[in-house]
Amino acid sequence: MQDTAQPRDWSTTTEADLSLIMRIIPHRYPFLLIDKVRDIEVNSSAVGVKNVTFNEPHFQGHFPGAPIMPGVTIIEALAQTSAVLVGLSLDLVDKEPLVYFMSIDKAKFRRKVVPGDVLDLEVKVLRGSKKIWKFDGRASVNGEMAAEAEFMAMIDLGARG
């Protein structure tokens, strides 16, 4: 029997659940830092969602008795959100791309992120091409700014497989 299924057009996707996220980016526990991505506008913007829980390994040492999500993991969660956006924008689902930071600029941290928070991770494309992308990222909890940064990343399709 011949497979007549048509390839999926990812350009109309507006939300990515955990299953789709894992088909786009290689991160897994304990370093997968987003639970879903919503409000996706390919080549433009997206909002990642991170449900912050006490069970995450970094809280064992950051800090015992006063757990705070490290700022670098907030920036990484923004980057993972942007990698999902790029994956959908460039039709990279199931193609195992790797995404590497090239730069992080203007990083500012405004409030603590603690277990029980829901972190909204807004990313906007400032510049994008096939390999190099630049983003503006803002992380917030209940509308209150937690962190912000501009960052640039490189997409690598040749590193795996």
The per-residue pLDDT for range 125-155, each reduced to its tens digit, is 999 988 999 999 999 999 999 999 999 999 9
In a domain, 26, yes or no: yes
Q: Is 58 a catalytic residue?
A: no
Assess contact for 127 and 134: CB atoms under 8 A: yes
Looking at 23, 27, 62, 124, which residue is catalytic? 62
3 domain-assigned: no
Residue tagged 């992080």 (tokens): 104
Q: Give pTM, 2 decimals.
A: 0.93
Do the domain assignments include residue 81?
Answer: yes
User: Alpha-carbon distance 117 to 158, whole Å?
Assistant: 37
At residue 160, the pLDDT reads 54
Overall domain count for the chain: 1
The candidate with the shortest Cα–Cα distance to 109, out of 141, 152, 147, is 147
121 part of a folded domain:
yes
Q: Is residue 7 part of a domain?
A: no
150 within a domain of the structure (yes/no): yes
Question: Which strand (E) or helix (H) includes residue 105?
Answer: strand 98-109
Residue 55 pLDDT grade (very low, low, confident, very high; cuts 50, 70, 90): very high
Burial 113-138 (b: 16+ CB within 10 A, else e): beeebebbbbbbbeebeeeebbbbbb
Question: pLDDT at position 19, please?
Answer: 97
pLDDT tens for 66-110 read 999 999 999 999 999 999 999 999 999 999 999 999 999 999 999
**Mean of the pLDDT values across residues 51-78?**
96
pLDDT, position 158: 73
Residue 43 lies in a domain: yes
pLDDT at residue 27, as a whole number: 95
CATH number at residue 104: 3.10.129.10
Gap between the Cα atoms of 134 and 108, Å rounded: 17
Residue 93 lies in a domain: yes
* pLDDT bracket for residue 161 (50, 70, 90): very low
Q: Is 67 exposed, middle or buried (0-12, 13-18, 19+ CB in 10 A)?
A: buried
